[in-house]
Amino acid sequence: MSESARTVIVFGSLHYDVIVRGPARPRKGETITGQSWQPKCGGKGGNQAVAVSHAGAHSAMVGAVAEDDFGRTLLHNLDQQGVDRRFVRVLPGGSTGMSVAIFDGEGDYGAVIVSGANLTLSEKDVQAAAELFASGPILVLQNEVPDSANVAAASAAKHSGGLVILNAAPARMPSEALTAKVDIIVVNAIEAELLAGVPVVESLEGALAAARILSRSYPTAVVTAGGEGVACVTAAGEEIAIPAIPVKLVSTHGAGDAFIGMLAASLARGSALAEALANANRAAAELVSRPAPEPTV
């Protein structure tokens, strides 16, 4: 890592995930017999912080967990993955965030999250990590923590000349206060539909059309289109369309987080936007084609 590279702060969620694998995802009222389950350290924030670290950039996590077994496991994982977690707050009460993700036989999934300690994030956490925010960092945000907390983090980063990336996932309309502070917004087709206000076809052209609309509100809009690729449009009119890299799909879980982590890490190292997007596209392709760890149960 270059000495001149910027720190990437990931301000966001930490979840203890339970991964369930079955032949299909259950319909309403249906019970399905699955093949296996396994625990995994996650949360969009945690996943992205680890992805930044794996991409070779200085990764710092600002978040919250409870003083329980899930929380201790998540903290240990951040340590093991090389993430600076000095500013992950530990609550003496409450519960650590968690999720359950159900995978079908094709590798796609649906998930339910229970936010727990993540909902306690606030301006106080930003103030506690003031030394990180004062360095003109690249700040990565998601929608698994309160909007007001994201606004506080974005304000602190912008004050020191930082760059703010918002991964608007899960789909939630950002407040005007947050929108005004975002430099790069990254969404998938579903999230783009909510923010752009129009149906989005999951194709490279559909992603470009959505990005053009979003670029009216954000300096740079990035729309990922799953197996089709990624599109980017800037407020200055630059358009970038990168086709997906053909791979054999094993699992889509975490692809978006791998994309965000590599994008932020590449920008932290000084890569131009087009190069950073190409790197991120490659990282996501590598992740979805990688065999998952062997189930523990």
Please say if the pLDDT value at position 296 is more than 50: no
Structure tokens at 155: 């304000």
Average pLDDT over residues 116-140: 97
Spatial separation of the C-alpha atoms in residues 111 and 43, rounded to whole Å: 11
At 5, is the pLDDT very low, low, confident or very high (cuts 50, 70, 90)?
confident
Burial of residue 193 (number of CB atoms within 10 Å: 0-12, 13-18, 19+): middle
Please say if the pLDDT value at position 24 is more than 60: yes
Residue 253 assigned as binding residue: yes
Residue 191 assigned as binding residue: no
Spatial separation of the C-alpha atoms in residues 63 and 142, rounded to whole Å: 12
> Could you give the C-alpha distances from 180 to 94, 162, 169, 259, in angstroms and in order?
33, 14, 18, 23
Please say if the pLDDT value at position 43 is more than 60: yes
Instruction: Point out the residues that are catalytic.
Output: 257
Identify which has the larger pLDDT, 117 or 297: 117
Spatial separation of the C-alpha atoms in residues 230 and 207, rounded to whole Å: 7
Residue 228 assigned as binding residue: yes
**pLDDT recorded at residue 90:** 98
Please say if the pLDDT value at position 2 is more than 60: no
Which CATH code is given to the segment(s) 8-14+42-96+117-182+245-288? 3.40.1190.20
Identify which has the larger pLDDT, 128 or 101: 128
Please say if the pLDDT value at position 294 is more than 90: no
Average pLDDT over residues 234-255: 82
**pLDDT recorded at residue 31:** 94
**pLDDT recorded at residue 6:** 92
> Among 42-56, 125-139, 170-184, 195-209, which stretch is predicted with the lowest mean pLDDT?
195-209
Average pLDDT over residues 141-158: 98
Q: Which of 116, 39, 126 is nearest to 87 (CA)?
A: 126
Residue 158 assigned as binding residue: no
Domain boundaries, the chain: 8-14+42-96+117-182+245-288
Average pLDDT over residues 122-127: 98
Residue 227 assigned as binding residue: yes
Average pLDDT over residues 55-68: 97
Highest mean pLDDT among 147-151, 191-195, 256-260: 147-151
Please say if the pLDDT value at position 292 is more than 90: no
Contact assessment for residue 286 and residue 249, using Cβ atoms and an 8 Å cutoff: no
At 251, is the pLDDT very low, low, confident or very high (cuts 50, 70, 90)?
low
Q: 103 Cβ partners below 8 Å, 6+ apart?
A: 19, 20, 21, 22, 25, 109, 251, 253
At 4, is the pLDDT very low, low, confident or very high (cuts 50, 70, 90)?
low
Residue 281 assigned as binding residue: yes
Asked, as a colleague might, if the bond just before 26 is cis with ω within 30 of 0, I would say no
Q: pLDDT tens across 179-230, in order?
A: 999 999 999 999 999 999 988 888 899 999 999 999 999 999 999 988 889 9
Residue 43 assigned as binding residue: yes
**pLDDT recorded at residue 295:** 41
**pLDDT recorded at residue 161:** 97
> Among 108-122, 142-156, 259-273, 276-290, which stretch is predicted with the lowest mean pLDDT?
276-290
Residue 136 assigned as binding residue: no
Share above pLDDT 90 across residues of the chain, in percent, rounded to a whole number: 79
Residue 167 assigned as binding residue: no
